[in-house]
Structure 1
Amino acid sequence: MENNQSRNSIVEKFNKNAAQYDSQRVKLIPCFRDFYTIPVSLLNTQTKNPAVLDIGAGTGLLSSLILEKYPDAEMTLIDISEKMFDVAKERLSHFPNVKYILNDYTTYDFDGEFDIIVSALSIHHLTETEKKNLYKKVFSMLKKGGLFINADQVLGQTPFIETLYKSDWSQKIESSGLTQEELAAAYERTKLDKMSTLGDQLNWLQESGFEEVDCVYKYFNFVVLYGRKI
């Protein structure tokens, strides 16, 4: 019941903010350029049309960057916000092989396997148990040699470190040019976060079967996690 209420809150808040989400995101993520370009630079596949799944795809920003690199990719986006998908569909309208699934990726049964599975700023909304289960699910859906890349936010390893993370983020977004209304909405959305530490998530990826697991990039609590199915 609690998880359903949490999902409904996420849908409501992201539907409400969908139209402004991308323009605000540049200001809300101090390391925006690195955060979105590094995952794409890590992609490496032998096929020109890899099967790619973007979980919690939102407005399709990460998907669009992947499609710039692999324009023939068979791209699948899944998200629970219909309004965010409206933005994604417009953004990706000139790509032919894009599929949209309006559903909860933690419970949805996917067809087939994927060469690459990615996510950006979504998994931190899940509980610890849901994250563990999702990493196992992602591993099972990847083809041999497949990649999983997660660009997300993590919890500070100690309360003091977490305070440093929050303080830096607050200072930077409050001097970014966002309006007071936009700042208030951003702080309100952080109440939906259920972040876990970097160490825990690296361990959960390894426990799920992933190899070559690493945090490839880190800027305070913004990280890019990497794992391969060998």
Structure 2
Amino acid sequence: MSFEHSDVKIKFDENASQYDGQRKKLIPCFDDFYSIAISLAETKTKNPQILDIGAGTGLLSSFILEKYPDAFVTLIDLSEKMLDMAKERFVANQNITYIIDDYTKIKFDRKYDVVISSLSIHHLSADEKKQLYQNIYSSLNQDGVFINADQVLGQTHFMESLYKNDWKNKVERSGLSKEEIQSAYERANLDRMSTLSDQLKWIEDSGFLDVDCVYKYYNFVVLFGRK
């Protein structure tokens, strides 16, 4: 595990118990952001194999299980404490597998119909993102889909400044405490975001078809690719 990944693990371990309660206040476009990601997760299989990369507390997986209640879902995350929250969420579901590991290092031993991720891949370096997209492509069944609901870097310094200022202005008015806001800013300092254009190219270069940014709200995006 690299130093940077260790930092991410520590910060998310610290915030695990408060994570879900803060989501709507830290993601101004929360409803569209998650609902569009789920709407893109189309498969003909009634009990699909689904992989949630950087699953955290299982928030995105909880939404996809509303759509596919008989799905088999694998959650992988660095943070054991975040996955502990997911285990509490899914305590009655026997179709959930939990992996505490660095998803940039692991080789998945099965094929999936849907691979999803939310607010995780932006913590990776450019090279790690490229390799991960290749690994995701290899892990999908034919006609499988990949959906990444994440954050991207502004294409120019001006646009990045605009994105950051808009987010900070909304967070400051969100009702979160000063301590919660400071913690969010500290986690944001660990971000290693890449531009939208770079990410779309890397996903396409990995072999995906129909690659698109289906939704965008400042730096919050939902990216799609099909095998």
Aligned to 1:117: 115
Aligned to 2:149: 151
Runs of 4+ in 1 over 6 A off after TM superposition: none
Equivalent residue for 2:204, pick from 181, 203, 206 = 206
The CA distance in 2 between the partners of 1:94 and 1:38, in whole Å, is 26
The CA distance in 2 between the partners of 1:95 and 1:43, in whole Å, is 20
Aligned to 1:84: 82
AA aligned to 1:176 is: S
Q: Work out whether residues 71 and 95 of structure 1, in 8 Å CA contact, stay in contact via their aligned partners in 2.
A: no
Q: Work out whether residues 153 and 223 of structure 1, in 8 Å CA contact, stay in contact via their aligned partners in 2.
A: yes
The CA distance in 2 between the partners of 1:181 and 1:50, in whole Å, is 40
Q: CA deviation at 1:94?
A: 2.1
The CA distance in 2 between the partners of 1:47 and 1:129, in whole Å, is 33
Equivalent residue for 1:140, pick from 134, 138, 141 = 138
The alignment's TM-score, normalised by the length of structure 1, stands at: 0.97
The alignment's TM-score, normalised by the length of structure 2, stands at: 0.99
1:186 and 2:210 aligned: no
Q: CA deviation at 1:155?
A: 0.1
AA aligned to 2:23 is: R
Deviations 1:107-156 (A, max 9, x none): 01211110000000000000000000000010011000000000000000
AA aligned to 2:141 is: K
AA aligned to 2:6 is: N
Q: Structure 2 matches for 1:39-188, cutoff 5 A?
A: 39-188=37-186
AA aligned to 1:174 is: E
Tell me the percent identity. Answer: 62
Q: CA deviation at 1:96?
A: 2.0
AA aligned to 2:122 is: H
Number of residues of Structure 1 aligned to a counterpart in Structure 2 = 227
Give the unaligned 5+ runs of structure 2. none
AA aligned to 1:227 is: G
Q: Work out whether residues 155 and 197 of structure 1, in 8 Å CA contact, stay in contact via their aligned partners in 2.
A: yes
Give the unaligned 5+ runs of structure 1. none
The CA distance in 2 between the partners of 1:47 and 1:173, in whole Å, is 39
